[in-house]
A and B are shown apart, each in its own frame.
Chain A
């Protein structure tokens, strides 16, 4: 069985001392976490280790001894051998490095005092039951401590048997951060070498922010609870109001952002990695949103752009919807029925007239409304985009109405036609059996049916053309709203913090490790350098994308085309709520 020793890079130049770390028995490996230097009192070392063991989950023990003799310290070897009797062990490692050489030698002593290496050399004839080989893997302690292996396995409930060796190593180093608190400037009884022993780094700003964030979070939580109480009062929960607020994307976005803020402002510290990343992502995306919103306000309120916008908006809103006139038709070669055309034309013109008068009523107030609504962009660019989408929906409401009228008319016509066509052929739709059956009709039924069929057939081009025009207009509006929703969704769900971490500190998000073979010298075991292999950029999006109420197409393209042909009303986007998934 090969023994793997994970040795921190910072300790390769440390003075002689004791190796402190943890055994991972299932994979036959040892992780060295720190080196305790002379002079020390064994009792104090044992007490310190017990203290750290109680603070963390890690089974810290003394693994062995480390010797890097400087000039005048040649008598260390025998001293080191005596140490193995003081600390309890099943295996005792003796790593030693000579000045001038890059590799270290390793000897493993089992309980019982037998030197396995010596045994292997002496006894050619004796039985070698365990030819113990050693691999020394160097790792960068700070990076391994801060890094997180993906896919993330949360919870300590998984047994150590299922954990792979690498996960066990990462877990051990990450958990033992209380061990790294003592640095060389502490006046305690022990002197340790580890990644932080040159001096603990801290930033005043970070500490101040941490201290200041607690009351800010409390204030935010209180304000949010007030807001959600306001949102839940009986008056606002009446069904019509709820229906409207579920259709308006502004209200949906508001609710969504409130939920986000509640996550971020909770005073409980995030214990697990995914929770922390989620909070950080939401916070950074919120900041970006606000910054973009403020930029938009700065651009919009300059040079009286609001006024210009208002003055262009009114004529656009009362654009006459291009309903098919006689001129258009003669060009396309289809003959429209004059009477039906006049009826439908008058109906739609009257509707447009109502709409125009409404717009003219509103026009003096448009600029003021726009001004105040534009201010709401300070809540974030996503909010401004949702307001834009809602405004477009409200201003093109007449197009929606026309589309519904045209579609209903066309749908009725198509159903009538298909039913009468079956009558024309002598068949009937059997509702019970859900199929077409033959049926014998009376002469009167056949006569009237055929007459109606002919009438409907020849009126079809007129209705179809109206339907086509209105559907196209409606689709243009839907497309525009869809694009806005896509942009809002992107802003909401993009994990900016995770992406920034992947670009600037790639070792924190690890997919695995890479090994590199270090020096090969005679008589030394194999030395490998373990580096962290960061996850791919596409994997960042996959793991850390914030779930949203994304709209996705409800039907496939074929189903959509079929619905358009038959005249069924289409609602292309379906809102997915995060809770029901």
Chain B
């Protein structure tokens, strides 16, 4: 299911890969656009030009060193905490669902939800400003009342794929959930 024409809600191209490990286990990986060299260069040049202008005004070399440190630290913070490389959903029948997002620096943030807590996986609509977006979410059961939904956990929040992709993922999930 590596379709080239899949995009996210802003029109950027995303990559979707679905692996079938066994008939009980599926993994869907949605990868967003990579960090482009152009944006890094633009950011770096912008900051350094500003710093050079400030240096010309103040004749203080500390401004230049500050700018260098700022660029480096800013880049590191961005790729470690903000830039999501790919998000994956691993669904294992009768065990649970695992969501993981991995960042550009390699850091992975994982969470596992047991099958007994999952009520259903649905596609929800949301109205955001002037657009209507669809998102896939997991409905989590209330431990006290098995028929009530205690919370809604949205999936693929950084990659934000469009409806076509979501339908494929939804079908995959429902196949597994129906079995357990």
Chain A contact residues, CB within 8 Å of chain B: 1-2, 4, 27-28, 133, 135, 137, 162, 164-166, 512-515, 517, 520, 525-526, 528, 533
Contact = CB atoms under 8 A, between A and B. Distances in A.
Nearest to B110: A514
Nearest to A166: B114
A137 B114 CA distance: 14
Interface in B10-38: 21-25, 27
Given A2-B93, A528-B92, A517 B98 contact: no
Contact of B112 (A135, A513, A525): A513
Contacts of B111: 512, 533
B21 to A, nearest CB: 5
B24 A533 contact: no
A162 B114 CA distance: 13
B26 to A, nearest CB: 10
29 contacts: A2-B93, A2-B95, A4-B94, A133-B23, A133-B24, A133-B93, A135-B25, A135-B92, A135-B94, A135-B95, A162-B143, A164-B114, A165-B95, A165-B114, A166-B114, A512-B111, A514-B110, A515-B90, A515-B92, A515-B95, A515-B98, A515-B112, A517-B27, A520-B21, A525-B22, A526-B21, A526-B22, A528-B25, A528-B95
Nearest 5 CB-CB pairs, A to B?
A: A2-B94, A526-B22, A514-B110, A517-B21, A512-B112
Given A512-B112, A526-B92, 16 more contacts: A4-B94, A28-B94, A135-B24, A162-B143, A164-B117, A166-B114, A513-B112, A514-B98, A514-B110, A515-B95, A520-B21, A526-B22, A528-B92, A528-B95, A533-B110, A533-B112
A574 to B, nearest CB: 35
A515 B114 CA distance: 12
Nearest to B21: A517
A166 B22 CA distance: 22
User: Considering residues B94, B95, B111, which has the most beta carbons from chain A within 10 angstroms of its beta carbon?
Assistant: B95
Contact of A1 (B21, B94, B143): B94
B22 A514 contact: no
Contacts of B94: 1-2, 4, 28, 135
B116 interface: yes
B65 interface: no
B25 A526 contact: yes
B174 interface: no
B180 interface: yes
- Contact residues of B: prevailing secondary structure: strand
Nearest to B111: A512
A556 to B, nearest CB: 31
Contacts of A525: 22
Nearest to A27: B116
Contact of B90 (A135, A166, A517): A517
Nearest to A531: B110
Contacts of A166: 114
Interface in B30-64: none
A517 B25 contact: yes
Interface in B90-115: 90, 92-95, 98, 100, 110-112, 114
Contact of A164 (B25, B100, B116): B116
A49 B121 CA distance: 43
Interface string B123-151: 00000000000000000000100000000
Nearest to A515: B98
Contacts of A133: 23-24, 93
A403 B22 CA distance: 78
A515 B94 CA distance: 14
A517 B88 CA distance: 13
Contact of A2 (B27, B100, B112, B180): B180
A151 B7 CA distance: 39
Nearest to A131: B179
B92 A514 contact: no
B112 A520 contact: no
Given A1-B94, A2-B94, A2-B180, A514 B112 contact: yes
Contacts of B22: 520, 525-526
Contacts of A512: 111-112
A514 B110 CA distance: 7
A164 B180 CA distance: 16
Contacts of A4: 94-95
A456 to B, nearest CB: 55
B29 to A, nearest CB: 12
Nearest to B114: A164
A3 B90 CA distance: 19
Contacts of B24: 2, 133, 135, 526
Interface string B167-180: 00000000000001
Contacts of B95: 2, 4, 135, 137, 165, 515, 528
Contacts of B93: 2, 133
A165 B113 CA distance: 11
Contacts of B23: 133
Contacts of A515: 90, 92, 95, 98, 112
B17 to A, nearest CB: 14
Contacts of A2: 24, 93-95, 180
Contacts of B114: 164-166
A18 to B, nearest CB: 26
